[in-house]
Structure 1
Amino acid sequence: MTVSTQTKALLWGLAGIGAWAAVKAGLARHRKMDFRGKTVVITGGSRGLGLEMARILAQEGANLAICARDPAELNDARSELLAYGGSVYTQTCDLTDKDQIEDFIEDVRRELGPVDVLINNAGIILVTPFEHTTEADFRESMDTNFWSAFHTINAVLPHMRPRKAGRIVNVTSFGGKVSVPHLLTYSASKFTFVGYSEGIRPELQKENIYVTTICPGLIRTGSPRNAYFKGQNEKEYAAFKIAGSIPFFTIDSAQCAREIVEACRYGEAERIIGFPAKLGASIQGLAPNLLAEVMGVVARLLPNPGGIEEQRAKGKTSETPLSESVLTTLTDQAAERNNERVKE
């Protein structure tokens, strides 16, 4: 190529970037949502990231509906959220049960009105070597992390379609972009969720319903206490909790919640949250073999099979001096803030 041709190519490229930036800004202005008075459903909204999002939306004047399995968690969350003003409707719900999901959404409609925003946030994490995974583990992860959202989306669409308006936010994971060792059941379900979420966006966008796929990296929510662990559960838990406490490698749950709310506000297609997650997703796209080799090294560094084998234990029953050390201070602080210790 001559210098002149290269210059023209550069100018055309810059013009294209500028044109897209202008289009993007125009779409953002057109799609911007004011949450005041809107009915917002958050699954798994009683603790962790769900509670963080509920706090932000309550302060913006939304009418909230949150569900979870634990009534004590729901009561604590409701008491806090009511202080911000607005309406807060809570209901115990097993999201692996389609009938309970449909009942919950119908009850929300009667109490607060048609659903304007659905945030699919509920999920389960199982940390285990591949040797100790079972078919039941995969089915449970799929039921909780994918099918629950599938059924919840189907339950709210009859509220949104007649009005030609709505937002659906699917909180998936970086683990739905890159499969992570010892999180195979989680990643398998999240990959499915990412594919479904990305696929339904263009199908629903023609009805002015915007689907946003959220892929966060490690978030400091305090949730390791309520995750499940197999094999050498104490070592698995310590590694998972420490990794989730490292500054800069992880993202603060309040900051993550703000980013998700902003992505919903403007009807974005996707937002990957956290620099490590963005970097990992980019490497996966550009150099998948390199990332596969890195993950192979990570797998060798993680605990070997053994311990309690196929039995499972919650994080909070797997504490050791290492997992309760200064290395996990940020996760413990997040657990206190985000209702993760409600049963203690």
Structure 2
Amino acid sequence: MKWKNMLLAASTLGVVAGTAIRRRRELDLRGQVVLVTGSSRGLGFLIAKAFAHEGCRVAICARNEEELEQARAQLESHGADAIAVKCDISDRDQVSAMVDTVTRHFGRIDILVNNAGIMVVGPVQTMNTEDFQQAMDVMYWGMFYTTMAVLPQMIQRRAGRIVNITSVGGKISVPRLLPYTAAKFAAVGFSEGLRAEMKKHGIYVITVVPGLMRTGSHLGAYFKGKHKAEFTWFSLGASMPVVAMDAEVAARQIVEATRRGTSEKILSWPAHLIVRIHGLIPGITTDMLGVINRLIPEDPNSKEKIKGEEILKMMGNSPIAKIISSLAQNTTQGSKRTP
């Protein structure tokens, strides 16, 4: 009986201590300055909107100045204190200038959300060095540049949050998406290691791992090989309500993970499931993906890169095009801003 009481007491103390630690690292978001990259539309825009709803001051950035201004105006129409800075995050000098601009305007940057991404879908034989280079430039080096630009001021204040939007593709390499998954694997590795190093400085790094999400990404992605077949499988997977997560729900969960300083946030139950299974039986999951890959028709000799929205037009009024269009209409308005 004595040992049972001691174990119960120890367990209770552990719960109390854990709760105290979690509360201590929770952040009051009101008045915090948030910089979100790749935020003129899609998930990035919804993340900026969700932070603004919590009372944050928001800086958004993207390459398209017109879309960026539209996004800023939309945020301000909802009462947000927001600025927009045109920036190609794959350019180190532009990133440095952007961070300086945001810091001068708001006085500091409390939270950085690395969200910008790019996607090319197709068999590896259709890919070239430039496809892999561009993916790394945006989703690894772009994340690296922005992070290293804001770190000095966060370390000086001994406070800050860095949120890296990676992907389930950064945990499991997905066929037909090798440039994307290679860059996301690098992003996950950098994010996890950075958390370990920055915690002593009072900076929390949050690794967000989304699965399929209804952001309209199939329209902004580029496709190679047998274009219509590649577009079809990807579009259906990225638009199905049961399989793909609602982007506004994802944005709210990302904000909450930021508030709590969570180490890793995997979004959606399918992503949770496949990551856990792969962790237990990686060889089997890889072989299963190989079987699925065989079912998708391919043309390894077609290296032309075509945007998803153009492929949808090429498909005309075919039944599958109508299904894809119908599913796309069910995405949120913010999600339709996806690049």
TM-score, with structure 2 as normaliser: 0.92
Structure 1 CA distance for aligned equivalents of residues 232 and 12 of structure 2? 47
| The one of 292, 299, 303 aligned to 1:310 | 303
Q: Equivalent residue for 1:112?
A: 106
Deviation at 1:289, TM superposition (A): 1.7
| 1:98 correspondence with 2:92 | yes
Tell me the percent identity: 40
| The one of 55, 66, 77 aligned to 1:83 | 77
Structure 1: segments with no counterpart, 5+ residues: 1-7
Q: Which moved more, 1:333-342 or 1:74-83?
A: 333-342
| 1:230 correspondence with 2:224 | yes
Structure 2 CA distance for aligned equivalents of residues 95 and 17 of structure 1? 47
Q: Secondary structure at the match of 1:244?
A: helix
Structure 2 CA distance for aligned equivalents of residues 111 and 315 of structure 1? 37
Deviation at 1:332, TM superposition (A): 3.2
1:190-213 CA distance string (max 9 Å, x none): 001001100010100000000000
Q: Equivalent residue for 2:157?
A: 163
Deviation at 1:23, TM superposition (A): 4.0
Judged with a 3 Å threshold, the aligned counterparts in structure 2 of structure 1 residues 249 and 64 are, in CA distance, closer, same or farther, namely: same
Q: Could you tell me whether the CA contact under 8 Å between 1:335 and 1:341 is conserved in 2?
A: no
Deviation at 1:324, TM superposition (A): 3.1
Q: Could you tell me whether the CA contact under 8 Å between 1:229 and 1:314 is conserved in 2?
A: yes
1:192-239 CA distance string (max 9 Å, x none): 100110001010000000000000100101121111111111221121
Judged with a 3 Å threshold, the aligned counterparts in structure 2 of structure 1 residues 77 and 339 are, in CA distance, closer, same or farther, namely: farther
Q: Could you tell me whether the CA contact under 8 Å between 2:46 and 2:334 is conserved in 1?
A: no
Q: Secondary structure at the match of 2:153?
A: helix
The residue type paired with residue 305 of structure 1 is D
Matches within 5 A, 1:7-86: 21-86=15-80
Matches within 5 A, 1:272-311: 272-306=266-300, 309-311=302-304
Q: Equivalent residue for 2:184?
A: 190
The residue type paired with residue 97 of structure 1 is D
Q: Equivalent residue for 2:330?
A: 333
Q: Could you tell me whether the CA contact under 8 Å between 1:77 and 1:339 is conserved in 2?
A: no
1:43-96 CA distance string (max 9 Å, x none): 011100011111111111111000001112111111110022232110111111
TM-score, with structure 1 as normaliser: 0.91
The residue type paired with residue 31 of structure 1 is R
The residue type paired with residue 45 of structure 2 is L
Deviation at 1:248, TM superposition (A): 2.1
Structure 2 CA distance for aligned equivalents of residues 298 and 223 of structure 1? 21
RMSD between aligned alpha carbons? 2.1
Q: Equivalent residue for 2:251?
A: 257
Deviation at 1:340, TM superposition (A): 2.6
Q: Equivalent residue for 1:203?
A: 197
Judged with a 3 Å threshold, the aligned counterparts in structure 2 of structure 1 residues 328 and 25 are, in CA distance, closer, same or farther, namely: farther
Q: Secondary structure at the match of 1:46?
A: coil
Q: Equivalent residue for 1:5?
A: none
Matches within 5 A, 1:171-186: 171-186=165-180
Q: Equivalent residue for 1:3?
A: none
Structure 1 CA distance for aligned equivalents of residues 211 and 87 of structure 2? 27
Structure 2 CA distance for aligned equivalents of residues 241 and 317 of structure 1? 13
Judged with a 3 Å threshold, the aligned counterparts in structure 2 of structure 1 residues 134 and 40 are, in CA distance, closer, same or farther, namely: same
Judged with a 3 Å threshold, the aligned counterparts in structure 2 of structure 1 residues 341 and 152 are, in CA distance, closer, same or farther, namely: closer
Q: Which moved more, 1:90-99 or 1:19-28?
A: 19-28
Q: Could you tell me whether the CA contact under 8 Å between 1:225 and 1:340 is conserved in 2?
A: no
1:88-145 CA distance string (max 9 Å, x none): 1101111110000000000001111210000000010110111111111111110011
Structure 1 CA distance for aligned equivalents of residues 17 and 306 of structure 2? 50
Aligned length: 332
1:127-178 CA distance string (max 9 Å, x none): 0111111111111110011000001000001221111000000000000000
Structure 2 CA distance for aligned equivalents of residues 294 and 231 of structure 1? 22
Matches within 5 A, 1:133-144: 133-144=127-138
Structure 1 CA distance for aligned equivalents of residues 12 and 322 of structure 2? 50
Q: Equivalent residue for 2:239?
A: 245
Q: Secondary structure at the match of 1:325?
A: helix
Structure 2: segments with no counterpart, 5+ residues: none
Q: Could you tell me whether the CA contact under 8 Å between 2:116 and 2:139 is conserved in 1?
A: yes
Structure 1 CA distance for aligned equivalents of residues 204 and 258 of structure 2? 8
Q: Could you tell me whether the CA contact under 8 Å between 2:116 and 2:138 is conserved in 1?
A: yes
The residue type paired with residue 29 of structure 1 is R
